[in-house]
Structure 1
């Protein structure tokens, strides 16, 4: 039986995901087999495993920190919001359907056996399992039939560390208030408090820590500083969407209301002299070197949103001035039509942006697979990518058909599940599109793209361009672990799990 430690927070974005990742790396460094676990994740950033199953990317990041392959066992339930009151429900990596929030609230208790099976299967592979909660355990309206915070802690008999975010203010009220709102048996499970994202001189904080321990009757096991770590974060509250600075090479990502998998573009953030901005209005677009249309959980709805706020017309106007690149839902938007005969999104048919002679039909069956392959003979500014290897994954409800006989596919792919080969995407002048998520991560693809964009402007950014994104992430996990070792009482934490 694995040892278990659970991280819960006083609110969303308190830093639970990174703390779980850091603890996973620490336990790995100390010689343990360790795995992350989150019973239920709500996110539009998802990933496809080797088996073709879908899970949240936060647990993929944590699995990387633990040094193991991502498995759907780490995230048995994934909710992908389709609108403000409903989500697509994915259980054990498979879509079971769309549910309104109130219907899922009544249904979710039926998923406890799935949670238990996933956790017990994970126990066979790990000495320590670090469990992440969701939101706050003190959300009184959600406590009934809870399967992700204290309800899960009881199921797993897990000790809990409660994390508060001092950067957003009121951390003492966060922690004390949360403890007060817990039931007595729940409060007994909280074995330590963590103050996260602290800036400044800790000695100034010490009187507050003493008061916190006296009133909460729970020890503070760490005051963790605000860290400049570049790792994937949850999509709902990421700070990346707030960046506005423009560098020598500027990439504008259209921030759809239902944007998904923005992690596709994080590799560009690591290149010096490059800015990645998420824009949701014409006034924010300016004159970027590349415009990216990302994935979307509601392609038709997000295309209508672009049309209504003027971004579609603005993107079309900049075709001659910059590169346009569509990924997944963004790729579908670049065609002539999108139709939804099964009512998977909006129903009916919608005209696309018209860059490609392509029609897309949304279907009930979701395509889920890892792929690898090579870029084809590409025209335009990115012709230098021709023949380069790539890999990534597909996750989409639609199938696209190109109407031109002699179109130029962006790449040739092999499906890792069945070994079948196929052409994917389109490349036409300086407009490109593909279904492959993670296409920029492999090898030198991102640096080569930036080099060509710089060359087009008469700039040279060659000195610091080449990078290994996988190796870079490893340095970030080690940096995270080193910081947590310094500021957490690891001896006390080890006592809790022993």
Structure 2
């Protein structure tokens, strides 16, 4: 069996996911085969594997850091929130059903065997498994059936490192308080702590670190500063949406709906030097962007009503009348059509609702979820914003519950050539006659630099600006270099000798 180590946190968003990815890359650099593992992930950001199975995106970028293909064994349980009290429960990549929190709490007993079997399979396959907990390590109200933190550490018999976030304040109290709330047996598993997201001079922390070690009786294994390394954020909580960017030559605004999913579709734009991004949050209005994007969503009809009730629908239509480019991805694509129908009540009680109406399409929701990886070729005959795209190759994945039918005033965006690695031939996506409204089900379509840069240069040309070449030639290569940067950064700030000693028992 391989070695294992588990990172747990004092709270959500303390940086566990990034640190897990960094350790995965460090162990890979040191010659070990390594895999990430998170027993239960609650997120609207998800990914489809080559087998057509659904998993959380955090374990995908951790697998990339480890240099391996992501599989659902790395995230056997995915919860996709669908309301204030319930979630869609996905086990080993397949939807079980929607469950209220009380029902899911009972269901956890059935999952413990699956988790042990899945984890043991990874531990037999890889030299090292780097595990990540969820939320706080000391959720005392949920301890009885905990399968995310100490409960999973016990199943795997893994040593634990607790991560605290100093940027939010109170890191010493949160680390010490977490240790106090753990049982004696759980405290024995904790072999050290990490202070994350530090800003300032480390020497000012020295006395506090020594006092903390005296209190909690385990070492501080590192004080990790903030960094500007471009790695995906934690999947359920992110500061990305609040980040302010000065406007650049091309400005993109993305509607942040309440159930927005897969915002990682737009990470690529942050690598382009002439692009600025703004997420339009609740109570805010759209500005004057070159591109407005409606992203994917877990609840299309609910988020469509949100856009309508908050005045954003009319603002999107106004931008369309001004000739701006309007793009919808997945649920956003469905919203751009004329009608959305839900005869089987897949999303709720509303059986039919008018869409925004910028595309001559109609979507009918179905009970079965489409989950597939695809490869596609952009269709011919497109102009304007989509000029010079004919024949370009794109790839990504689809996650949706509906089928969208095109009307007479619509062109296809692309032809799907491969689906789950099998040859196919059918059209996908929709483009209006003016080529300034685009809808597609393909998550990750913008990750192709050639495709994205061509659209951006078409906009530059319309604005009388010279075309630019991307400094990033391949997004995959860009991410790989960032994982190396992360690993090298962590080597400077973590006591890796002690971490190896902890793993070796």
TM-score normalised by the chain length of structure 2: 0.96
| Inter-partner Cα distance in structure 2 for 1:391 and 1:60 | 16
Aligned to 1:252: 253
Quote how far apart the aligned CAs of 1:477 are. 0.3
| Inter-partner Cα distance in structure 2 for 1:166 and 1:89 | 33
Instruction: Confirm or deny: 8 A CA contact 1:196 1:224 kept in the other structure.
Output: yes
Instruction: Confirm or deny: 8 A CA contact 1:447 1:465 kept in the other structure.
Output: no
| Inter-partner Cα distance in structure 1 for 2:470 and 2:70 | 31
1:383 is aligned to 2:384: no
1:410 is aligned to 2:413: yes
Match of 2:328 among 326, 329, 337: 326
Quote how far apart the aligned CAs of 1:273 are. 2.2
Quote how far apart the aligned CAs of 1:462 are. 0.9
Q: 1:273 and 1:186, CA in 2 relative to 1: closer, same or farther beyond 3 A?
A: same
Which digits, 9 at most, give the CA deviation of each residue in 1:242-281, with x for residues without a partner?
Answer: 0233222111011010000000010001111211111035
Instruction: Confirm or deny: 8 A CA contact 2:77 2:90 kept in the other structure.
Output: yes
Match of 1:344 among 326, 343, 346: 346
Aligned to 2:460: 454
What is the DSSP-based 3-state SS (H/G/I as helix, E as strand, rest coil) of the residue aligned with 2:373?
Answer: strand
Instruction: Confirm or deny: 8 A CA contact 2:472 2:478 kept in the other structure.
Output: no
Kindly report the root-mean-square deviation, in angstroms, between the aligned alpha carbons of the 2 structures. 1.3
Quote how far apart the aligned CAs of 1:124 are. 3.0
Aligned to 2:371: 368
Instruction: Confirm or deny: 8 A CA contact 2:42 2:81 kept in the other structure.
Output: yes
Quote how far apart the aligned CAs of 1:418 are. 4.3
| Inter-partner Cα distance in structure 1 for 2:18 and 2:46 | 17
What is the DSSP-based 3-state SS (H/G/I as helix, E as strand, rest coil) of the residue aligned with 1:369?
Answer: strand
| Inter-partner Cα distance in structure 2 for 1:290 and 1:434 | 15
Aligned to 1:439: 445
Which digits, 9 at most, give the CA deviation of each residue in 1:331-377, with x for residues without a partner?
Answer: 00111111111211123111111111211111110101110021002
1:165 is aligned to 2:165: yes
Quote how far apart the aligned CAs of 1:130 are. 0.2
Q: 1:463 and 1:50, CA in 2 relative to 1: closer, same or farther beyond 3 A?
A: closer
| Inter-partner Cα distance in structure 2 for 1:258 and 1:64 | 26
Q: How does 1:206-285 map to 2 (within 5 A)?
A: 206-245=206-245, 246-281=247-282, 283-285=284-286
What is the DSSP-based 3-state SS (H/G/I as helix, E as strand, rest coil) of the residue aligned with 2:386?
Answer: helix
| Inter-partner Cα distance in structure 1 for 2:160 and 2:326 | 47
1:309 is aligned to 2:310: yes
What is the DSSP-based 3-state SS (H/G/I as helix, E as strand, rest coil) of the residue aligned with 1:250?
Answer: strand
Instruction: Confirm or deny: 8 A CA contact 1:451 1:465 kept in the other structure.
Output: no
| Inter-partner Cα distance in structure 2 for 1:476 and 1:290 | 27
Which digits, 9 at most, give the CA deviation of each residue in 1:3-57, with x for residues without a partner?
Answer: 1100000010100000000000000000000000000000010000000000000
Which digits, 9 at most, give the CA deviation of each residue in 1:192-246, with x for residues without a partner?
Answer: 1100011111111000000000011011111111111111112432111102332
Q: 1:283 and 1:321, CA in 2 relative to 1: closer, same or farther beyond 3 A?
A: farther
Aligned to 2:296: 295
Quote how far apart the aligned CAs of 1:142 are. 1.6
Q: How does 1:39-78 map to 2 (within 5 A)?
A: 39-78=39-78
Instruction: Confirm or deny: 8 A CA contact 1:328 1:435 kept in the other structure.
Output: yes
Quote how far apart the aligned CAs of 1:465 are. 5.1
Aligned to 2:494: 488
| Inter-partner Cα distance in structure 2 for 1:407 and 1:468 | 31
| Inter-partner Cα distance in structure 2 for 1:410 and 1:168 | 45
Instruction: Confirm or deny: 8 A CA contact 2:45 2:236 kept in the other structure.
Output: no
Aligned to 2:404: 400
Instruction: Confirm or deny: 8 A CA contact 1:254 1:279 kept in the other structure.
Output: yes
Which portions of structure 1, spanning 4 or more consecutive aligned residues, are displaced by more than 3 angstroms? 281-284, 463-466
Aligned to 1:184: 184
| Inter-partner Cα distance in structure 2 for 1:470 and 1:103 | 40
Unaligned 5+ segments in structure 1 are: none
Unaligned 5+ segments in structure 2 are: none
Quote how far apart the aligned CAs of 1:443 are. 3.8
Aligned to 1:199: 199
Quote how far apart the aligned CAs of 1:458 are. 1.8
Instruction: Confirm or deny: 8 A CA contact 2:374 2:397 kept in the other structure.
Output: yes
Larger deviation, residues 156-165 vs 339-348: 339-348
What is the DSSP-based 3-state SS (H/G/I as helix, E as strand, rest coil) of the residue aligned with 1:459?
Answer: coil
